[in-house]
Amino acid sequence: MSHILSEVEIKNYKSCNGTTLKLCSYTPFVGYNNAGKSNCLSAIQWLLRKSSLSDGDFYDSSKPVEVSAVIEGVTQEIIDQMPDRQQRSIAPYINSETIKIKRTQSLPNAKVAEIKLSVWDETQQDWVLNPTGIDNAVSILLPEPIRIGAMENAAEDASKAKTSTTIGKLLSQFIEPVKVAHEQELNQHLLQVKSRISSDGNMRFDELDSIDSRVNEKVANLFPGMSVKLHFETPSFEDLIKGGTIKVYEDAQCGRDFSSYGHGAQRSIQMALVQYLAEIKRSSNEQLTNTLLLIDEPELYLHPFAIEQVREALLQLSKNGYQVLISTHSAQMVTAEHAKNALLIRKSPGIGTYARERLSDAIQSVVPNSIHQMEQLFSLSHSTQVLFAENVVLTEGKTELRLLPYIFKKVSDKTMGQDKHALVAQSGVNDTKKSLQILEAMDLPAKAIADLDYGLNGAISHGFIDRDDGDIVGIKNIFVRLSQEGRVTINGNNLPRNGIVKASEAFEILANEQDAQPLIDSLHNKMKLQNIWLWKKGAIEAHIGTGSKDEKSWAAFKNSVDEVSLQQVCPDFDGIRELVEWLRAD
């Protein structure tokens, strides 16, 4: 990829009142219905293909619509390939291989000529309005985008015979080899047609000459000295290409119009064309232009394997002369590799559509150059949930991962997905602080669940609890007593270690001590203020009554609950219910 739109700012366009988008070569836009994902794509399309916007396109009709963008990667090599006139137009505004442009429409329904393109002048620190030739120069770098919209417009779009339609644009992208191979041959045939039906053809059909003669008898009576000839314009090779469309064949039937098929077939054909485009562009080394491919929900009506094929085709295109921007509701369209660059699109009253901080940017602000944290939060399974959630629940335990969704539904009568919660496993409790900070930077509400021992170890090192906190001191004193009684083994820091019992079992023993319970309750409440839940009995197993952390115990727990009830099975049902209520609280 030579150059791309790296950042776009949208002002006063539909729901985008002040929307900033950071883009890469393949950028998924993720968000709920009506968040404004399609509006973002339409604004980018308008930036590169000016057209008059109506009242409905303005967030506030008394203010102008402005869409500005940064184009990065405009090297001297690319500039040198441009025609001289376009080089002269654009070169003064390139700064460190970057140029910034802005499209503006002041009023609804303005004439197209009144819609201006400005370019940023770094030396003057100001916008320069419509410098000579800048539109053409930009269109060489970034030609008119290919937009594949929602399926409700697919049939109408495909039935039109214009290069402005989706099908027409896709056809024009890969018809070039046909043109190179057969244009001369086809032009010879077209000349033969022209010689027979044009007014000056030297081999005109006798019938046309006869008609001309009969008509001219009448013309001569009215206008002596004047004559006419019938003339039929012969299409050029380009005209034939512009009229290209799709006919669909099924079994031995005759070809049918694309629009006669259902949405599933229509979408499949559209995406098949995209896949073929990816194939023919794979070996292309063309670097001068970079076409934006803007697609609304490419996964619509496709089965899971087909979605994966389309995703891979789009990724291939993003490496070969295309910048791919998609809106999606499918986690299959977002690989773990590209989740870090996905845009979480949201909309709120008074603000309009906005993009939350990308994972890649949030990580760099919290833990710069941290590969581990990125891998931890966004493995393939994690990205599926986090990108499509409104709340994130972090946990380190396998039992929580297996049973918490089940418990959550039993208590709330809703799945975690219905309540827009993503349950994310951490590789260890030491990731808790950084994970919470990264999610906070992304404006994603998050809570963590940890075993009781975290409150006396990680919580202190992470700065959530002071080392000299009264609850910590009191709990350690109890561990000293339990050690003296021969019930647990402690280390030099007066905390349990494996010995008489396992360290994890020592915390369960602690939780049953009457004098420890007020201290644990107090520590638990302090950690809740930090959005961290501590299991007061040591770990989840003591609260739900499972004896071990394995599939057999988890299956037995579910079976028991299904036979009777969660309240009857859980030794600490009130604590479990309190957890679910805490997770659901704002």
Strand partners, 142: none
Q: Are residues 491 and 572 in the same domain?
A: yes
> Is residue 215 assigned to a domain?
no
pLDDT for the residue 213 = 92
Q: Are residues 545 and 418 in the same domain?
A: yes
Yes or no: say if 163 and 208 are a contact pair by the CB < 8 Å rule: no
Which SS3 state, helix, strand or coil, does residue 116 take? strand
Give DSSP secondary structure letters for 432-446. Answer: HHHHHHHHHHTT--E
Q: Are residues 575 and 485 in the same domain?
A: yes
φ, ψ for residue 136 (rounded to 5)?
Answer: -65, -40
> Is residue 68 assigned to a domain?
yes
pLDDT for the residue 273 = 78
CATH code, domain carrying 131? 3.40.50.300
> Is residue 134 assigned to a domain?
yes
Q: Are residues 380 and 525 in the same domain?
A: yes
Q: Are residues 28 and 104 in the same domain?
A: yes
Q: Are residues 406 and 486 in the same domain?
A: yes
| Mean pLDDT in residue range 549-569 | 94
Which SS3 state, helix, strand or coil, does residue 526 take? helix
- Look at 405-414, 540-549, 570-579 and tell me which has the smallest mean pLDDT: 540-549
pLDDT for the residue 283 = 59
pLDDT for the residue 425 = 82
Yes or no: say if 59 and 13 are a contact pair by the CB < 8 Å rule: yes
The CA distance from 157 to 148, in Å, is 9
**How many Å is the maximal CA-CA distance in the chain?**
130
Q: Given CA atoms 330, 336, 338, 341 in this order, what sign does their dihedral have?
A: positive
| Mean pLDDT in residue range 179-202 | 89
pLDDT in tens, 453-505: 999 999 999 999 999 999 999 999 999 999 999 999 999 999 999 999 999 99
Q: Given CA atoms 514, 516, 522, 527 in this order, what sign does their dihedral have?
A: negative
pLDDT greater than 80 at residue 9: yes
Q: Which domain holds residue 318?
A: 4-153+288-348
Task: List, in order, residues 6 or more apart from 357 with CB less than 8 Å away.
Answer: 365, 441, 442, 443
φ, ψ for residue 104 (rounded to 5)?
Answer: -135, 135
Strand partners, 554: none
Question: What is the side-by-side strand order in the sheet with 532-534?
Answer: 421-425, 391-395, 446-450, 532-534
> Is residue 283 assigned to a domain?
no
Q: What is the dihedral of CA 318, 322, 328, 334, to 10 degrees?
A: 10
Domain total in the chain: 2
pLDDT for the residue 586 = 79
Which SS3 state, helix, strand or coil, does residue 274 take? helix
Residue in this structure with the two tokens 């931890």, named with its chain if needed: 376
Q: What is the dihedral of CA 171, 172, 175, 176, to 10 degrees?
A: -160
Residue 183's pLDDT band (boundaries 50, 70, 90)?
A: confident
Whole-number average pLDDT of the chain? 87
Q: Are residues 477 and 544 in the same domain?
A: yes
Q: Are residues 410 and 515 in the same domain?
A: yes
pLDDT greater than 50 at residue 1: no
> Is residue 507 assigned to a domain?
yes
> Is residue 325 assigned to a domain?
yes
Yes or no: say if 358 and 439 are a contact pair by the CB < 8 Å rule: no
pLDDT greater than 70 at residue 160: no
Q: Are residues 19 and 149 in the same domain?
A: yes
pLDDT in tens, 404-462: 999 999 999 999 989 989 998 877 777 888 889 888 888 889 999 999 999 999 999 99
The CA distance from 568 to 402, in Å, is 20
Yes or no: say if 414 and 406 are a contact pair by the CB < 8 Å rule: no
pLDDT greater than 80 at residue 286: no
The residue ranking higher by pLDDT, 364 or 554, is 554
> Is residue 431 assigned to a domain?
yes
Q: Are residues 309 and 398 in the same domain?
A: no
- Look at 351-360, 365-374, 407-416, 488-497 and tell me which has the smallest mean pLDDT: 365-374
Q: Are residues 14 and 133 in the same domain?
A: yes
Q: Are residues 434 and 306 in the same domain?
A: no
> Is residue 359 assigned to a domain?
no
| Mean pLDDT in residue range 551-575 | 95
